[in-house]
Structure 1
Amino acid sequence: MGSERIELEVEGRTVSISNPQRIYFSARGETKLDLARYYLAVAPGIVNALYHRPCMLHRFPDGVDGAKVHQKRLPSGAPPWVETVRVHFPRYNRHADELCVTHPADVVWAVQMSTVEFHPWNSRREDTESPDEWRIDLDPMPGAGYAEVRRVAGVVEEVLDELGAVGYPKTSGGKGLHIYVRIPPDHGFGDVRRAALAFAREVERRSDLVDLTWWRKDRRPASIFVDFNQNARDHTIASAYSVRGTPEGLVSAPVRWDEIADAEPQDFTIATMPARFAALGDLHADIDHHAYPLDTLLEWADRDERDGRATPPEDAQ
C-alpha cells in the first residue's frame, strides 16, 4: 500500500494521490480517495467558498482518528499551478504563504497532502486586510443542544431581514451553525468585528438563550454564544463544503433557511453530500451578488460604546 498511487484528472490538471486506500474516516471506512472524490463532487461549491482567500489547512496524515496538523504555510512539493497568498503576522513579525485556491485541482492536491479541513480567511488576496465576509457563528455551550441553536437562528434570520441583509446559513460540521453575509471590502477587521458584536447584542436582546459574556467559563451552561470574534484578523472557521475531522466525515453544509427546523448536522456527510449537491447545486452560489454595507451596524456599535458597552479585546475566551 505504501507505494500505491492513482492519478485523477481534474479539469485539465493531473493530481497524483498516494495511499488512496488509506482509511481516513473510521465510522464507515471512507478512504483518502473517497475524500478526493467527495471534493470533486462538490467542486464548484468548495472553490466558490475558498476562491482567492488565504487558507489554513487542517491535515490528518493518519486519518481523522490520528493527530491533526494545523498548517498555515503551503506544504512543500506543490505543483507550479498551485497559487499562494502572503499574509503577515505583525505580533510575531512573520509571514506565511498560504494556499490560495483558484481551481478544483488545488483542493484535490491539498487532499493528497492529507488535508481534510479547509479554513479560509474572511478576506481575499486582492486586499487581505479588508474583509468581504461577515461571519455569524452560533456556538452552543455544553448544556445547550442543536434545538437551542435553531431557536437562535430564527432570531438571527429575523434581524437580518429587518436590516435588509441576505444571510447564507450552513451547519458547522459540529454542534453549531454559521451564517455568512457578503459585505463590501470597505472596512478593516476591527470595524467588521465591532459590527458583528453590535449585531450579536441585538440578537441577545431578543433571545434569552444568548449569552455574550466574554469569558467562556462565566457563560450560562445552556446558552448560545454568538461568536463575533470569528471576524477578528486571522480567525478562521471551516468553509462551506469542508469536511470536518470526525469519524463520520461530517460536512459543514450549506442549508436553506427553511431546512434548519428539521435538518440535523449528522445528515450531511461525505457519503450524503454528493447526491445533495447534484440535486441542489451550490446554495451559496450567488452570495457575491448580495453585499450588505455595514453602516447601520457600525452606528449600533457607536451607540453601544457611548452607552458604556466597550468592545472586548481579541484575547482568547
Structure 2
Amino acid sequence: MKLTHAERVVDARSGATKGDVARYYEDVAPLLLPQLRGRPVALLRAPEGVGESTFFQKHAGKTAWPGLRELDPALWPGHEALLEVTTRQALRGAVQMNTLEFHSWNARSANLGKPDRLVLDLDPGEGVAWQAIREAAGLVRDLLLELSLRSWLKTSGGAGLHLIVPLAARWSVDTVRSLSAAIVQRLADEHPQRLVAKSGAANRVGRIYVDWLRNGEGATAVAAYSLRARPGLGVAMPIGWEELPSVSGAAHWTLANAREHLAARSTAPWADLAAHKQSLAAALQALA
C-alpha cells in the first residue's frame, strides 16, 4: 500500500511525520510482529494526529487493507471477526490508515478462552513521582514471586510500567481475571498509602492504581515496541529489571531514540519470556 501524506506532522511536540512513523514501524517490525502474530489486535487510529480524536479498531468493517487478516467469527461468538497483524504489509497498511498504537489480547487466537499472559498496569495518579512508580513495580514483582510467578517488565510509553506474567494457557479468562483482582487487592491492603485497587482518578491521587482490568475478556494491552499516541510519541519498551533504576520515566524511549537504543542493546530482555509457561496453581491456592 502506498503511503500518502508522508510529510504530514502527526506529533507537534517532536515534529514527527506520518513518514517517520512508517519508517519506525518498518525498522522495528522484526521485534513488533512476534508480539502481534497469533493474537487478535486492536489498532488505535489517530486521523488528525496526537492530541486530536482517536478511536480503537478491533474489526475490519469497510476499512480492510492488504495483509490484514480477519479471524473466524466463530472464535468469539456474538462479535464481528477480530483482526490479526502478521506481516510487514499489514503494518504498512495500518500506518497508512493512521494507526499509531498496536494493542494485543492476552490470549492467542487459537485459544481465546485461555490467556497465556497476565498483565498488571501501574497507572499513577496525580502527584506520584517516578521513583514511587519504580518502587511500586518492585513491590508487585516481590508479591508475584511469593506466588511462584516470575514477571517481565516494560515501560508503558505513557505514564507507568507494565508487568507481564507469562502463563501456561490452561486457565479460563475468568480465573485469570479473578486472580489478578485478588493480587491487586492484596497489594492495596498491604500498601494502602501507595497502591489502590479501584479505578478512577479520584481514588488514586498521590497513589498508584494497579490496573488488573486488562485481564478481562476482550481486553487488550499495548504491545511491546508500539508507539503511544501521546505528545513525544513514547515507546512501550521491554526492559530488564536490572535496567529499571536507570530509566527516567515511562516515556524514556520515544520514536526519536528507540531505534538507537535497540541497535546498541546486546541482549533482549524478553528473549526467554515465551518459554516460561507458568502455572497458576500455587497462586490460586495461596490467595484462595
User: Would the TM-score normalized by the shorter structure come out above 0.5?
Assistant: yes
Deviation at residue 89 of structure 1 after TM alignment: 11
Task: Say yes or no: does 1:283 pair with 2:269.
Answer: yes
Q: 1:230 to 1:23 in 2, by over 3 A?
A: same
Q: What amino acid sits opposite 1:105 in the alignment?
A: Q
Q: What amino acid sits opposite 1:132 in the alignment?
A: D
Greater mean deviation of Cα atoms: 207-216 or 248-257: 207-216
Counterpart in the other structure of 1:76:
63
Q: What amino acid sits opposite 1:33 in the alignment?
A: G
Distance (whole Å) between structure 1 residues aligned to residue 139 and residue 16 of structure 2: 37
SS of 1:299's equivalent in the other structure is helix
Task: Say yes or no: does 1:118 pair with 2:102.
Answer: yes
Deviation at residue 194 of structure 1 after TM alignment: 1.4
Corresponding pairs, count: 285
What stretches of structure 2 of length at least 5 have no aligned partner? none
**Alignment counterpart, residue 55 of structure 1, candidates 41, 47, 54:** 41
Deviations for 1:200-235, whole angstroms, at most 9, x for unmatched residues?
234335434444353536625211121112111112
Task: Say yes or no: does 1:265 pair with 2:253.
Answer: no
Q: 1:290 to 1:38 in 2, by over 3 A?
A: same
| Mapping 1:162-181, distance limit 5 Å | 162-181=146-165
**Alignment counterpart, residue 194 of structure 1, candidates 170, 173, 178:** 178
Counterpart in the other structure of 2:9:
23
Q: What amino acid sits opposite 1:238 in the alignment?
A: V
Task: Say yes or no: does 1:295 pair with 2:281.
Answer: yes
Counterpart in the other structure of 1:252:
236
Q: What RMSD in Å do the two structures reach over aligned CA positions? A: 2.2
TM-score, normalising length: structure 2: 0.90
Deviations for 1:12-40, whole angstroms, at most 9, x for unmatched residues?
xxx42111111111112111111111112
Greater mean deviation of Cα atoms: 154-163 or 37-46: 154-163
Q: What amino acid sits opposite 1:259 in the alignment?
A: E
Deviation at residue 144 of structure 1 after TM alignment: 1.9
Distance (whole Å) between structure 2 residues aligned to residue 238 and residue 97 of structure 1: 20
Distance (whole Å) between structure 2 residues aligned to residue 66 and residue 283 of structure 1: 34
In 2, are the aligned partners of 1:45 and 1:282 still within 8 Å (CA)? no
Distance (whole Å) between structure 1 residues aligned to residue 129 and residue 90 of structure 2: 36
Counterpart in the other structure of 2:19:
33
**Alignment counterpart, residue 206 of structure 2, candidates 222, 232, 238:** 222
Q: What amino acid sits opposite 1:36 in the alignment?
A: A
Deviation at residue 255 of structure 1 after TM alignment: 1.4
Greater mean deviation of Cα atoms: 203-212 or 123-132: 203-212
SS of 1:278's equivalent in the other structure is helix
Deviation at residue 106 of structure 1 after TM alignment: 1.8
Distance (whole Å) between structure 1 residues aligned to residue 256 and residue 75 of structure 2: 38
Decide which structure has the larger Cα Rg and report it. 1
Deviations for 1:234-256, whole angstroms, at most 9, x for unmatched residues?
12221111111112111111111
TM-score, normalising length: structure 1: 0.82
Deviation at residue 301 of structure 1 after TM alignment: 3.6
